[in-house]
Amino acid sequence: MTTSPSRALLIIVVVLVVGMLVPVGYVIEATARIGVSELAALLLRDRVGELLSNTVLILLLGVPITIVLGVGSAWLVERTDLPGRRFFSIVSVAPLAIPAFVSSYGWASVFPSIQGLGGGLLVATLAYYPLVYLPALATLRGLNPSLEESARSLGLREGAILLRVVIPQLRLAILGGGLIVALHLLAEYGAFAFIRFDTFTTAIVVAYQTTFAGPSAASLGIVLALLSVIVLGIEATARGRARYAYVGSASPRPAELVKLGKLAPLAIFALAVIGTLATVVPMTNVIRWSFATNPELLNDLWRALVDTSLLSLSGALGAIVVALPVAWLATRHPSRLSRVLEGGYSIASSLPAIIVALALVTVTLNVAPGLYQTTATVTAAYIIIFLPRALVTLRAGLAQVPESLEEAAQALGKPPLLARMRVTIPLLFPAIAAAGALVALGAANELTATLLLAPTGTRTLATQFWSAASSVDYPGAAPYAISLVLLSIPAVALLFAQTRGKTR
């Protein structure tokens, strides 16, 4: 039973969506401003061809590899009698705590010759496979084991069950995880810059550094934005009418575990190798270098921590404020309109951070110079980039606060506003806190938008790390790298707990 949303709520959401779509507007405006002929001159170059082939190749190769790694490890730790499953279930999520650019720096310091597409694939797939692992794990936990039992009783072997029953049910998790990986690959700058692998994003940063926010950066941005939209379109087509939904009811009993038998040592070996490559290799040198760090740096580190905390906190608050009305509209008044508005949000936040940053530089300079190089603008970028984290968490939280509770409070004589303050908000608080934490920790790791937009004099952990690492100052970069990893751990723990708790 749906009621129509109030006019004010709709107006708020529409205004927010329009705000969120500023980067999309920038891309369109840039296309028009530059004009077809100049755009063609800028884009029809061998160099752009190289970038395109690099970018497309890393998508075509990287996404399937992360899917295999992510689904494979999820299946091993959740559905087999693998010894040490619990340990490996944590090992497989751990790479998320290491920002990809830190991991890339770690790899480059161990093997300086890592470079190009191969290097990009190595670093990126190891950094991103947990993004597929987590949804796959959640789905596997929620799967009704009776489906597999039925298949078994119909005479299917384990392998066939995996392929014909389990994997098809993982379709949404695979598509969702694959989409996120693809968008990350498109947006990645730091990790690729370290190992001399050029994609559109790295080229845009170089173009920005060469000509500021000029036509050459914008024209590459247009192509990158198009690629993002194509990726979104492919995912939407493959998903069809199915929706991502949190399955409310848990599986009634745990599934029977598949016996690995003689394959167990092989599985342990595989997971151990992946885990080592993804965490131990990149971190060993970082930790080693941190002992060589000049203690005077600690003062700078402290300053960077303060700046980082303030910026990411304001990003988190902003993202909650912006996500709440849409989450409310989507859960309480689901309709075609609310889905369209939500779609607007998701398109905006699928654009790589570098485009968001370019757009905000251009827009603030030309339209609102007062906002140029202010905390407000960085905050806006964080909101646009990390909104999905807040939106998903708040939506799930709101869905768990049934409207009937508010109605009960009203029937007991509380006006609607008070009913919400006393019932919905307290119940929503854990979701608000989780959403805030996820956005804040994402913002703390953010590099590209922060580099372009931060107010003069601002130093975040990520920008300081970048500045030291760019001049190959390993001891100087190490403490920032370690701080970034330590900061990320709570967010990853939170994500992991959400994944596990949701279904059991």
Partner 1 sequence: MNLRISGVSKSFGTTPVLNDINLDVAQGSRTAIVGSSGCGKTTLLRLIAGFITPDRGEISLGSRVLSAPGHDVPAHRRGIGYVAQDGALFPHLTVAANIGFGHPRAGRAQRIREVMELTSLDATLATRYPHQLSGGQQQRVALARALAPRPEVVLLDEPFSALDTGLRERTRAAVITALERSGTTTVLVTHDQEEALSFGDGVAVMISGSLPQSGSPESVFGNPASVDIAALMGSVVLLPAVQVEHGVDSALGRISVRHDRSGGAESVVAMVRPAQVSLTADDSQCRASVVGVRHIGPVAVVALRTQGQHPTAISLTLPSHHTQSLQVGAVAGLTLDGGAVLYPASAAGRYLTDLEN
Partner 2 sequence: MTATLAAALLLLSSCTGVTNSDDDGAVEGASAEALVVYNAQHEKLAEEWVEEFTAQTGIEVVLRNGGDSELSNQLVAEGDASRADVFLTENSPAMSLVENAGLFAPVDPATLDLVPEKYRPASGMWTGIAARSAVFVYNPELLDESELPSSILDLQSPSWKGKWGGAPSGADFQAIISAILETQGPEATAEWLTGMKDNATVYRNNIVTMKAVNAGEVAGGIIYHYYWFRDSDSGGENSGNTKLHYFGDQDPGAFVSISGGGVLKSSKNSVKAQQFLAFLAGVSGQTILGEGYSFEYPVGGDVPAKDPLPTLDSLNAPVIDPSKLNGPEVIDLIMQVGLL
Residue type, 121: L
Identify the H or E element spanning 197: none
Residue 36 interaction partner, one of partner 1, partner 2, none, beta carbon < 5-8 Å per kind: none
Give min distance, CB of 197 to partner 2, in A. Answer: 11
Give min distance, CB of 211 to partner 2, in A. Answer: 5
Residue 125 interaction partner, one of partner 1, partner 2, none, beta carbon < 5-8 Å per kind: none
Which residues is 80 bridged to in the sheet?
258
Residue 168 interacts with partner 2 (CB under 8 A)?
A: no
Residue nearer to partner 1 on the CB measure, 198 or 406: 406
Residue 310 interaction partner, one of partner 2, partner 1, none, beta carbon < 5-8 Å per kind: partner 2
Residue nearer to partner 1 on the CB measure, 287 or 408: 408
Residue nearer to partner 1 on the CB measure, 84 or 430: 430
Give min distance, CB of 501 to partner 2, in A. Answer: 26
Contact 383, 442 (CB under 8 A): no
Residue type, 355: I
Residue type, 141: R
Which distant-in-sequence residues (6+ apart) come within 8 Å of 120 by Cβ?
54, 58, 62, 191, 192, 195, 197, 199
Q: Which two tokens stand for residue 485?
A: 């990893």
Contact 133, 92 (CB under 8 A): yes
For the CA atoms of 315, 320, 322, 327, what is the dihedral angle to 10 degrees?
150
Give min distance, CB of 301 to partner 1, in A. Answer: 40
Radius of gyration of the chain (CA): 23
Q: How many Å apart are CA 193 and CA 364, to the nearest integer? A: 27
Residue 76 interaction partner, one of partner 2, partner 1, none, beta carbon < 5-8 Å per kind: none
Alpha helices in 21-170 (DSSP H): 22-34, 36-43, 46-79, 85-91, 100-110, 116-128, 130-142, 145-153, 158-161, 167-169
Residue 359 interacts with partner 2 (CB under 8 A)?
A: no
Binding to partner 2 (CB under 8 A) within 464-493 occurs at: 467, 470-472
Give min distance, CB of 501 to partner 1, in A. Answer: 15
Residue 8 interacts with partner 2 (CB under 8 A)?
A: yes
Binding to partner 2 (CB under 8 A) within 399-428 occurs at: 416-417, 420-421, 425
Number of residues that bind partner 2 (CB under 8 A): 60
Binding to partner 2 (CB under 8 A) within 308-337 occurs at: 310-311, 313-314, 317-318, 320-321, 324-325, 328, 332
Tracing tokens 């061998």 back to the chain, one arrives at 46
Residue nearer to partner 1 on the CB measure, 321 or 411: 411
The residues binding partner 1 (CB under 8 A) are 1-3, 402, 404-405, 407-416, 419, 422-423, 426-427
Q: Is the dihedral of CA 51, 363, 463, 352 positive or negative?
A: negative
Helix (H, G, I), strand (E, B) or coil at 243: coil
Residue type, 331: T
Q: How many Å apart are CA 194 and CA 187, to the nearest integer? A: 15
Give min distance, CB of 471 to partner 1, in A. Answer: 53
The site for partner 2 (CB under 8 A) is made up of 5-9, 12, 45-47, 50, 112-113, 193, 196, 203, 206-214, 216, 306-307, 310-311, 313-314, 317-318, 320-321, 324-325, 328, 332, 365, 369, 372-376, 379, 416-417, 420-421, 425, 455-458, 467, 470-472
